[in-house]
Amino acid sequence: MTEPRWLSDTEMRAWLGYRRMRRLLDLRINRDLAADAGLSEQDYDVLSILSELPDPAIRVGELSERLLWTRSGLSRHLGRMEQRGLVTREDDPDDARGTVVALTETGRGAIRGAAPGHVDSVRRHLIDRLTPAELQVLGDIAEKVLDN
Amino acid sequence: MTEPRWLSDTEMRAWLGYRRMRRLLDLRINRDLAADAGLSEQDYDVLSILSELPDPAIRVGELSERLLWTRSGLSRHLGRMEQRGLVTREDDPDDARGTVVALTETGRGAIRGAAPGHVDSVRRHLIDRLTPAELQVLGDIAEKVLDN
DNA sequence: CGAGGATCGGTTACATGTCAACTATCGGCT
DNA sequence: AGCCGATAGTTGACATGTAACCGATCCTCG
């Protein structure tokens, strides 16, 4: 193996900064969300997707792709959310192998109630700390990283 | 509660982009690290801090602060790493409540062996995809978010 | 001194994620 | 029609994180 190209100061600062930001930012926002609405970040993500859907229900597999989650993890999480009355699961009438997930009224109420506080939290901890130019670049960076 | 300030397009793009980047980037880099070196990201972080220390050992509490980890989580993790022969734990001679953690030769070898591949992985998935200006801004963003 | 609150690290109970294996079903091909 | 590999979702075994609590030790202040 040839000598690797170690990271320069700027590169190291960006990498370590990203790592610490990830930890602290997620910690703060999740804490706010749990305190304000009694929801985890994962709950919020699921509810958010369901509430913005044109259809009343979505296949578990498609939901897992949108969330970038494994099916098994999602299955377990949906079980917990179902028990709390946030979502329902029913057999897909079009494909007996499948299951469709839908929001309950409780779930819809939960996301409606949680959204304002969550947006405020995201603003306080991230968005409002950055300039418009920085927000633009952050979007660019994410796009480049995700572009496989 | 007054009407919240919802996110603009640019803000939403930055936020969702960050979220997706976090998921995918971590997934990729952790996968590489596990495949190349048989280490988890957490293992790497611990070994990395220990290997760059001026002293031969560090207090558990200080390690947990540097890692932004809870003590209990770190305690469990150190137990696992100790069993694998990567680190040792001994009573702190200066404070009988405390424990000091040190790297074993195995642990030092593991981090040395893993570092080149890890740096390469970080480059491939993040650093080398960005321009110097973007790296600078990413560092700035992290600094602002972490401030306070 | 020495009493009592603070601090340290670990453990127990629990939450939540992954991987591999499983069951049920689908659907193309003969 | 019937076979058989592919696909959908769930579950068991396990890894690994947190919060609450515990026993031991430290240290300040009367």
Residue B65 near chain A (CB below 8 Å): no
Q: What pLDDT is recorded for position A75?
A: 96
Does the CB of B98 sit below 7 A from strand C?
Answer: yes
Amino acid at B88: T
C-beta atoms of A10 and B146 within 8 A: no
Please check the confidence at residue A4 and state whether its pLDDT lies above 90.
no
Q: What is the DSSP string of B29-54?
A: HHHHHHHHHS--HHHHHHHHHHHT-S
C-beta atoms of B119 and A7 within 8 A: yes
Residue B12 near chain A (CB below 8 Å): no
- pLDDT band of residue A64 (cuts 50, 70, 90) is very high
CA geometry: angle A14, A18, A21, nearest 5 deg: 135
> What is the distance in angstroms measured between the alpha-carbon CA of B63 and the sugar C1' of D29?
31
**Nearest CA to CA, how far is B50 from chain A (Å)?**
16
Does the CB of A60 sit below 7 A from strand D?
Answer: yes
Q: What is the pLDDT of residues B23-45, one digit of tens each?
A: 999 989 999 999 999 999 999 99
Q: What is the DSSP string of chain B?
A: -PPP----HHHHHHHHHHHHHHHHHHHHHHHHHHHHHS--HHHHHHHHHHHT-SSSEEEHHHHHHHHT--HHHHHHHHHHHHHTTSEEEEE-TT-TT-EEEEE-HHHHHHHHHHHHHHHHHHHHHTGGGS-HHHHHHHHHHHHHHH--
C-beta atoms of B119 and A24 within 8 A: no
Question: Contact B59/B99 with Cβ under 8 angstroms?
Answer: yes
C-beta atoms of B17 and A146 within 8 A: yes
* Selected residue of A2, A12, A15 to mutate for chain B interface (largest B Cβ count, 10 A): A15
Angle between helices B60-67 and B41-51 (to 10 degrees): 120
Average per-residue pLDDT in chain A? Answer: 94
Q: What pLDDT is recorded for position A3?
A: 75
Domains (ranges, CATH) in chain A? 39-111 (1.10.10.10)
Residue B122 near chain A (CB below 8 Å): yes
Please check the confidence at residue B103 and state whether its pLDDT lies above 80.
yes
Please report residues of B whose CB lies closer than 8 A to that of A135: 10-11, 13-14
C-beta atoms of B142 and A68 within 8 A: no
Q: What pLDDT is recorded for position B2?
A: 72
Q: What pLDDT is recorded for position A50?
A: 96
Please report residues of A whose CB lies closer than 8 A to that of B126: 15, 18, 145
Q: What pLDDT is recorded for position B1?
A: 59
- pLDDT band of residue A1 (cuts 50, 70, 90) is low
Q: What is the pLDDT of residues B55-99, one digit of tens each?
A: 999 999 999 999 989 999 999 999 999 999 999 999 999 999 999
User: How does strand B57-59 pair with strand A57-59?
Assistant: unpaired
Six-digit token string for A53: 């859907």
Q: B28: Cβ–Cβ under 8 A, 6 or more apart, which residues?
A: B121, B125
Does the CB of B42 sit below 7 A from strand D?
Answer: yes
Amino acid at A21: M
Q: How far apart are CA A45 and CA A52, in angstroms?
A: 11
Q: Summarize the confidence of residues A43-65 as an average pLDDT.
A: 95
Stated as kind and residue range, the H or E segment containing A33 is: helix A9-37
